[in-house]
Amino acid sequence: MVNIDAALAGLHRDGRPIQVAMVGAGTTGRMISVQLLTPVPGIRLAAIANRSIDRAVLAYSNAGVEEVSRADDVGQVERCIERGAYCVVDDPALLCAAGNIDVIIEVTGAVEHGASVALDAIRHGKHIILVNAEVDSTVGPILAEYARKAGVVMTNTDGDEPGVAMTLIRYLKSIGLRPVAAGNMKGMIDHYRTPETQREFAEKYGQSAPKVTSFADGTKLAMECAVLANASGFGVGQRGMYGPKCAHVSEMVGKLPADQLLSGGLVDYALGAAPYTGAFVLVHEDNPKKQKELAYFKLGDGPFYAFYVPYHLPHIQIASTIAHAVLYNDATVAPLGAPLCEVAAVAKRDLKAGQIIDEIGGYTTYGVIENAKAFTSEDLLPMGVAEGCRVLRDLPKDTAIGYADVALPEGRLCDQLRAEQARHFGAGDSSRAPFKSPRDGHYGAALGA
């Protein structure tokens, strides 16, 4: 196990902290800023970018930092960091280009903007941490390829469920166990929740109504499990996963089909299971002597055993991901290669021809996870690119929407990345949004695909 605490303590002692910049100062961003600024030894949140400068300033002031400097160009950002001051900008490109920033945290939850920031960070040799399952589940595999080519890390974060589960998977593998499933614990799912039904809850906890809706309608779960699937090599047993009800997560050992567990592994979720938060991993052990020993230590009779972490704290655990990325070039949770799972957009209500699909966590669609092979064969529309699409024909409620059912907005980076991802990994239709040459400001030929 890498001694992260000692490495960070050494950086702190030597006055050489990891210089971190964050893009996005919403609720999650402000939670991260409070944690990193109160402080974490060896890590310094040097700069924050947000469209509204006032919110970036608020993220600092919430953590007790009252003196911040606004920068309007890269040189100002670099000089601010050199003198040990804190910096706010309204353009994330300034942070991506600043030579003395080590890592960018992208925490907007927006697909188009998040993908743009990730590409810019990679182009400038920065590690990129996505607290953004929306981007990762949509174009994470191609972003990870760009990062590998550039010699930097693109990763989701420890503390969000995919990172908690993947960290546990890696640990269990390191001690000789065989993980065969992993996933979340989920309190409820209702695909038909809307920002109106979730507004009171959102206001109570200072969250946006669409964000909270994406939790309740299952979209966020689908995206997080797709991130985990693409990093772990597991798939889903059926569209949308099984999601068995459990009193306790340990009951998952008998809830999933054994043949699917043993023929590639599954991502899934436990519904209503104590401890109600965190992530779980199932392992398989068929050695009778080892089964006897595991029974002695109260893990059950086997051959499947449940391990779990009873918390997920992204704003706190992100410090580990920062350190692993910068100090050891190690991704906490990143795609292995081609997508193994995707998230399909499904009609939340009857949709009419001419209607424009609204945002993730909105009124028109919810997301469900599907294996990439089936997703591609049906030419389904990714949930991450659905916003802004115009419906071409009437679609009944609960219809899985295909590309043939919509007209895409023009000129979007997310569509270009999807096309490049399909071309690079040899799946799907790569002709919808041909990628421009890198000379035109994009990356399409960079992988030689």
Sign for the CA dihedral angle at 198, 356, 112, 47 comes to negative
pTM, whole model, 2 decimals?
0.94
Each residue's pLDDT tens digit, 1-13:
468 999 999 999 9
Each residue's pLDDT tens digit, 294-336:
999 999 999 999 999 999 999 999 999 999 999 999 999 999 9
Dig out the tokens for 419 from the structure.
């096309």
Among 91-105, 151-165, 188-202, 416-430, whose mean pLDDT is lowest? 416-430
| E strand or H helix at 59 | helix 53-61
DSSP β-bridge partners for residue 395: 351
| E strand or H helix at 154 | strand 154-156
The average pLDDT across 243-259 equals 98
DSSP β-bridge partners for residue 371: 341
| E strand or H helix at 279 | strand 279-284
Q: What is the pLDDT of residue 304?
A: 98
Q: What is the pLDDT of residue 429?
A: 58
Sign for the CA dihedral angle at 128, 134, 137, 138 comes to negative
Q: How far apart are CA 9 and CA 4, in angstroms?
A: 8
Which domains, and CATH codes, for the chain? 4-160+318-328 (3.40.50.720), 161-314 (no CATH), 341-431 (3.90.1210.10)
Q: What is the pLDDT of residue 430?
A: 53
Each residue's pLDDT tens digit, 358-386:
999 999 999 999 999 999 999 999 999 99
Q: Contact, 323 vs 4, CB < 8 A?
A: yes
Name which of 342, 417, 385, 333 is nearest 131 in CA terms.
333
Dig out the tokens for 309 from the structure.
């972490």
The average pLDDT across 158-182 equals 98
Q: Which residue has the higher pLDDT, 436 or 347?
A: 347
Q: What is the pLDDT of residue 442?
A: 44
| Rounded percentage of the chain residues whose pLDDT exceeds 70 | 94
Q: What is the pLDDT of residue 3?
A: 86
